[in-house]
Amino acid sequence: MLKLFLPSEQIKSIFDITPEDLKKRGIKGIITDLDNTLVEWDRPNATRKLMDWFDQMREHGILVTIVSNNNEQRVRAFSDPLRIPFIYRAKKPLTKAFKKACVQMGLKREETVVVGDQLLTDVFGGNRGGFHTILVIPVSQSDGINTKINRFFERKIMSALKRKGMIEWEERN
């Protein structure tokens, strides 16, 4: 059971993902979480650096879809100016939204990675759906109320993974 919470890989930030590396691995699409993965949970818009990252992915033919448990207003306000497709109220860790994102991008799960900052939603859901999962360090040290609850359980799972030598992880920035 613990293996379902184990990410395929761990990186510091979304900016460590390059289109060249993805293409070498046959990856054509990214399903990414929004809050504390791309930007702080309370930041309404993308940073210039993130906009450049999205442009770089687009230039290399890598498709990106945001899959968030947040509400439509939050996700639409962030995604629309960037012309990034999105799925809101995704109910992660259920796998339906991940599969829907693949269908919308016209990709197979083997051609897609799931990126997020939470074990309980992004990694667990992505793993349950058969995706390659990438865990990033949260971009903010604060969380919304629902995420605070998840972080409590996440710390326990992370400790168990570390004790068993299954994961090495850096704490938040």
Domain CATH code at residue 126: 3.40.50.1000
- Structural domain harbouring 111: 2-163
Q: In this structure, is residue 143 part of a structural domain?
A: yes
Q: In this structure, is residue 46 part of a structural domain?
A: yes
Give the CA-trace dihedral at 140, 141, 145, 147, to 10 degrees: 70
Query: What pLDDT was estimated at residue 94?
Result: 96
Query: What pLDDT was estimated at residue 166?
Result: 77
Q: What is the pTM of this model?
A: 0.88
Q: In this structure, is residue 173 part of a structural domain?
A: no
Q: In this structure, is residue 172 part of a structural domain?
A: no
Cβ contact 104:25 at 8 Å: no
Query: What pLDDT was estimated at residue 173?
Result: 40
Q: In this structure, is residue 171 part of a structural domain?
A: no
Q: In this structure, is residue 170 part of a structural domain?
A: no
Query: What pLDDT was estimated at residue 2?
Result: 77
How many secondary structure helices (H) and strands (E) does the chain include?
6, 6
Q: In this structure, is residue 93 part of a structural domain?
A: yes
Instruction: Please list the ranges in the chain whose pLDDT falls under 70.
Output: 142-147, 169-173
Strands (E), 50-161: 63-67, 86-87, 112-116, 132-136
Q: In this structure, is residue 169 part of a structural domain?
A: no
Distance between CA 148 and CA 102 in Å, rounded? 29
Tell me 128's DSSP state: H
Domain total in the chain: 1
